[in-house]
Amino acid sequence: MNFISGQLTRNIETAGHAGFCYGVKRAVETTKKIKKENPDKEVFVLGELIHNSSVIKELEELGIKTVETLPSSAPKGAICIIRSHGEGIDTIEKIKNSGYEVVDLTCLDVKKVQDTAVNLAGEGYFLLILGKAEHPEVMAIKSNAKKYSKDINSPLVIKSLEDLISKSDLIKNKNKIGVVIQTTQRIDFLKSVVDYLIDKTKELKIINTICNSTALRQNEAKELAKRSDLMIVAGSKKSANTTHLYEILKEITPTLHIESDIELDNYKNLIQTSKNIGITAGASTPDYIIKQIEDKLKTI
């Protein structure tokens, strides 16, 4: 869209692949539907369904409880929803045994990573999981694969190439190494690990488990950044895929990572001097937040 701001004709372009991905949309819509169909039952989500505070607040207003720890004994008819990031098999079994009806809304792409990790561990590979150890998706992948690993140090979570190098003693003399990657990580991270490992083991099995939505979002945003004076990335600071978008784009053009349109007030001078502004958003960012940012830019 083009509009006049003072003497500057400004072009604002929003990426086509911005906002909710399929897995997030499915999780949010299904959770709301479950509560609507079960108004008299308590509905819990173990951990944040997605990394977006406005969505969590909306769910709470509908009576859907986000908790870090479930009541040890389930209220009568209580439903527990497994978030899009997934959970370990043992955790899910424990929830069922506590009397909860479990609805598993793990993203299908995340499920594939879990299954791949389990298969590699079962086949005797020393497993590396590329991602953030504290991220719920990675924690669930590790928990599931650990049950099948034959090595006390496997799976090993690696957050960066430097982290891998610092832990090189743990992979020394491993004849079979398998690698999976968190669905929202950067492809250049995976490439750097492959380059490092290629001559460190006799058998190296790499499975690129970055989801298609992440790859499309990142590639499209990079092209948009190349023709923009300023990029705006909308989404939670806790969202891995949103943070990675910001990291990628700031290497191409000046980039802001914001959670809401209100934060734009802090960057008025930068916005006023930018002719071409691009907008993208993480997979857990609702459309209405993107629209609010577009509208706010017109007023600055």
Q: What's the CA gap between 117 and 139, in Å, rounded?
A: 12
| Active-site choice (42, 48, 87, 137) | 137
**48 flagged as catalytic:** no
Q: What's the CA gap between 112 and 211, in Å, rounded?
A: 10
Catalytic residues: 137
